[in-house]
Amino acid sequence: MSRFGPVVTAMITPMRDTGAVDYDEAGRLAAWLCERGTTGLVIAGTTGESPTLSDEEKLRLFVAVAQAVRGKAKVIANTGGNDTHHSVELSKKAEQCGVDALLLVGPYYNKPPQAGLIEHFTAIADAVKTPIAIYNIPGRTAVNILPDTIVSLSKHPLIVAVKESSGDLMQIAEIIARVAPDFDVYSGDDHLTLPIAAIGGRGIVSVISHVAGEDVRAMLDAFQAGDSGRAAALHAKLLPLCKALFAVTSPIPVKAAMRRFGFATGRCRPPLCPLNAEQERALDAAIAPWLRTLAAAPAR
């Protein structure tokens, strides 16, 4: 059993029309997700527009969501960055906010070598008392955290998981084969959730779980129960949604999608821009099955 459960939603950050963070709506969304398959929440991650959030906004979000879910899901605070000292200080503040774990992305833009990555993550882990998940997404950071590095870092008692968004199944399989059994390897790509589960992954840090959390959970539960046919059918059902929610830079589509579900999400902060009319129509078509299901469901 993984520490954070099988479905960790990388949650959007609702904002008001002024661009200010809407902390009450963030809490409402978090609670709603927990009722629909989510077992963990990443707060102020990439999907939560971390590059445009201030430290103060992040810390208030951590508190708001931790209070809103009250033990219904694990709350994982994104505190990673490309400045080790700053990441250490933000991580120390975050663990006072009632969160369950920290997410540390690979340092972006400055492209540290693997030895520098080890120093960076170890410095943060040595400064806190909260479990840590590493986030490897070389498509955004320009540096790949290699299997040797993850294996080395996994020996630290507080580094307990990795969100793997390299898209390289060979790399991910090597990590799974080499780390200890209690180290959790999560898919960081929705379309690879089932393939990574098949090679030993523990679940998904998901964007599409905003819309289809119950189906994502059902797919992973079916796979774990040995019902590969049902898991494969759900995987096929979810693929068009994966395409739609990543047709434009995330989180633009998912934030727009959640407005259809009744949440006051606001637009993304610049430089991310709204969908155009054609993109809106394509999104509506992709999420329609889940909107119909929600409309037909009895109130909870």
pLDDT in tens, 218-231: 999 999 999 999 99
List the CATH number of the domain containing 75.
Answer: 3.20.20.70
Please say whether the beta carbons of 76 and 40 come within 8 A.
Answer: yes
Asked if 32 and 9 touch (Cβ cutoff 8 Å), the reply is no
User: Which contacts qualify for 136-139: CB closer than 8 Å, 24 or more apart?
Assistant: 136/106, 136/162, 136/163, 136/164, 136/165, 136/166, 136/188, 137/46, 137/105, 137/106, 137/163, 137/165, 137/166, 137/188, 138/106, 138/165, 138/166, 139/165, 139/167
Read off the tokens for 47. Answer: 């999907």
Name the residue among 33, 130, 110 with its Cα closest to residue 72: 33
Q: Does 206 fall in a domain?
A: yes
Is 155 designated active site? Answer: no
> Does residue 127 lie within any of the structural domains?
yes
Is residue 168 domain-resident? yes
pLDDT digits (tens, 9 = 90+) for 244-277: 999 999 999 999 999 999 999 999 999 999 999 9
Report how far residue 214's alpha carbon sits from residue 199's, in angstroms, rounded to the nearest whole number.
Answer: 22
Q: At a CB cut-off of 8 Å and minimum separation 6, what does 54 contact?
A: none
CA distance 283 to 23: 26
227 falls within a domain? yes
- Element at 185 (helix H, strand E): strand 184-187
Parent domain of 31: 7-231
The active-site residue, picked from 74, 163, 186, 255, is: 163
104-119 burial, b for 16+ CB within 10 Å, e for fewer?
A: bbbbbeeebeeeebbe
Domain count, the chain: 1
Q: Which residues contact 130 (CB under 8 A, 6 or more apart)?
A: 91, 94, 95, 99, 100, 101, 102, 158
With beta carbons less than 8 A apart as the criterion, state whether 44 and 53 touch.
yes
How confident is the model over 24-69, as pLDDT tens digits? 999 999 999 999 999 999 999 999 999 999 999 999 999 999 999 9
Residue 53 contacts residue 18 (beta carbons within 8 Å):
no
Supply the pLDDT for residue 1.
62
* Pair 158, 125: CB distance under 8 Å: yes
Mean pLDDT, the chain, whole residue set = 96
What's the pTM value of the predicted model, to 2 decimals?
Answer: 0.96
Tell me, yes or no, whether 241 lies in a domain. Answer: no
Radius of gyration of the chain (CA): 18
Could you tell me the pLDDT band of residue 297, with boundaries at 50, 70 and 90?
low
Exactly one of 135, 186, 237, 255 is catalytic; which is it? 135
Asked if residue 293 belongs to a domain, the reply is no
Residues 58 and 13: their CA atoms lie apart, in Å, by 10
With a pLDDT cut of 90, the percent of the chain lying above it is 96
* 121 belongs to a structural domain: yes
Element (H, E) at 29: helix 23-34
Nearest to 101 by CA among 69, 72, 125: 125
Q: Determine whether 135 is an active site residue.
A: yes
Residue 215 falls inside a structural domain = yes
